[in-house]
Amino acid sequence: MEKIKMTTPLVEMDGDEMTRILWKMIKDELILPFVDLKTEYYDLGLPNRDATADKVTMDAALANKKYGVSVKCATITPNAQRMSEYNLHEMWKSPNGTIRAILDGTVFRAPILVDGISPVVKTWKKPITIARHAYGDVYKATELRTGEGKAELVFTDRDGNETRKTIYDFECPGVLTGQYNKDSSISSFARACFNFALDTKQDLWFSAKDTIAKVYDGTFKQIFAEIYENEYRARFEEAGITYFYTLIDDAVARVIRSEGGFIWACKNYDGDVMSDMISTAFGSLAMMTSVLVSPDGKFEYEAAHGTVTRHYYRYLEGEKPSTNPMATIFAWTGALRKRGELDGSSALCRFASRMEAACIATIEGGTMTKDLALLWRGQTPTVVNSEEFLRAVRATFETLEQ
C-alpha cells in the first residue's frame, strides 16, 4: 500500500511518562506504516521544558498558531514533588494553560462510544460534548474572611470615578469573594462554541443562571445571543443545527433525558464539574478525547487524561502495563483528519476515520485493555497490554483495508 502524502506539517507535541511511551508505539504501529508523516516536532517532555526554560512550550503554541493543527501528548504539570523528582530549575506552569492562553481557546471534551460499554444513563446513544469556558470566575476570585462590618463592591474607572454597592453588613464573621470575567474572553468562548458546532454539525446548548446572577450570567447570555444573531444564525440554519440558551438546572434535567449528540457549553465551574460527571457516566476517562479550539479556527487535539504515572512506574520496573491508548490514538486521528480537511486531502481524512473504526471494531470484537474489561458487558473479553492492543488494532485495520 502506498503511503498517504501530507502537504502541511502537523505540529507534534511530545509529552511525559506512560503517554510518552504510548506516543511512540502509536506512531510506529498505526501511523508511520500508512502515512508519509510530516510533523514539526516539539518535545514538551518535562526534562526538555526544564532545559529550555519552558521556551519549547511557547514555540509549540506559536507553531500551532502558524500551521493551525497540532496533536499533543499528556504532560506533567509540575508540583513540589515533581520539582525534586526531576530536579527542576523552576515550577513550570501547566503547558496546557500556556497553550490555551496563547490560542485563546476553548476545550471540547467528547467520549468515544463502543457497543458493549453502555453509559450509566440508559437514554444516551450519542456522545455529549462539553465545552468549558476555561477563564475567570471562581478560579481567579479574590477571597476574604471578614469580621463584623460592611462589605462593599467598589469599581474605580480610569477617570477615578467610583461605583459602590453594599454586599453585606456583617453582624458576625463571614466570608467574601470577588469574581470577574471579561467580555473579550466570553466572546472568544462563544465564537469557539459556534464554530465547533458548525464544524461537527451538532446542536449547541449554553446554560448559566441569569435569573439569579442577572448582570454576571446575564452578560454571558447576552453576548452569546448577540454573536449568534449577528454572525452565526444564517450558517446554523443552513447546516440544520440549532443554538439555544437555558438555565443550568433545566439543562441538567434535559441532558439526563436526552439521547446525546450535542455540545453543552458551560461556564468555568459548571464545566469543571459536569465534564467529570459526563466522562464517568459514559464509562472511562481513558475514552475521553479533548480538543482545544481557538476563535480564529486553530485546533489542538489531545487525550483528556494525564500521563498515567502509576502505570509508568510499573513500566519502569519491567512490567508491560495495560494502559488504554484509545484517547491518544483519537488525538492523532482527529488531528490528521482536520489537517486533511484543511489541505483538501480526502485520503488523509479517510485514513483517520478508518483507523478510528478499526479501534472501535477491535474493542467490540472483545480485545481491550484492563480498564475497559471492567466495564464490558459482552462475552468474556481478551485483556491485553498496550502493545498487544495496538498490534490488534493494526491487524483489524489491515483486514478492513483489504
Residue 57 in contact with ligand NAP, rule: CB under 6 A: no
373: three-class secondary structure by DSSP = helix
Contact 301, 290 (CB under 8 A): yes
Interface with Mg ion (CB under 5 A): 272
Give the residue, chosen from 10, 74, 190, 227, that forms a contact with ligand NAP under the rule CB under 6 A.
Answer: 74
Between 324 and 345, CB nearer to ligand NAP:
324
How far from 317 is each of 137, 321, 387, CA to CA, in Å? 43, 10, 16
Among 48, 179, 246, 309, binds ligand NAP (CB under 6 A): 309
CA distances from 287 to 43, 215, 352 (A): 24, 38, 17
CA–CA distance, 207 with 211 (Å, rounded to integer): 11
Q: Which of 192, 308, 336, 384 binds ligand NAP (CB under 6 A)?
A: 308
Q: Kindly state the cell numbers that stand for 12.
A: 507534534
Q: Determine the interface stretch with ligand NAP among 68-76, 127-135, 152-160, 183-191 (rule: CB under 6 A).
A: 68-76
Helix %, strand %, coil % of the chain (to 5): 45, 20, 30
From 75-83, 204-212, 217-225, 253-261, give the range in contact with ligand NAP by CB under 6 A: 75-83
308 makes contact, choosing from Mg ion, ligand NAP, none, with CB < 5 to 8 Å by partner type, with ligand NAP
Binding at 272: pick from ligand NAP, Mg ion, none (beta carbon under 5-8 Å per type): Mg ion
Asked if 310 interacts with ligand NAP (CB under 6 A), we say yes
Query: Among the candidate windows 116-124, 222-230, 238-246, 305-313, which touches ligand NAP by CB under 6 A?
Result: 305-313
* Residue whose beta carbon is closest to Mg ion: 272
Strands (E), 185-293: 203-208, 243-247, 262-266, 288-293
Are the C-beta atoms of 149 and 191 separated by less than 8 Å? no
Collapsing DSSP to helix, strand or coil, 271 comes out as: helix
Note whether 130 binds ligand NAP by CB under 6 A: no
Which chain residues interact with ligand NAP by CB under 6 A?
74-77, 96, 285-286, 302, 305-310, 323-324, 371
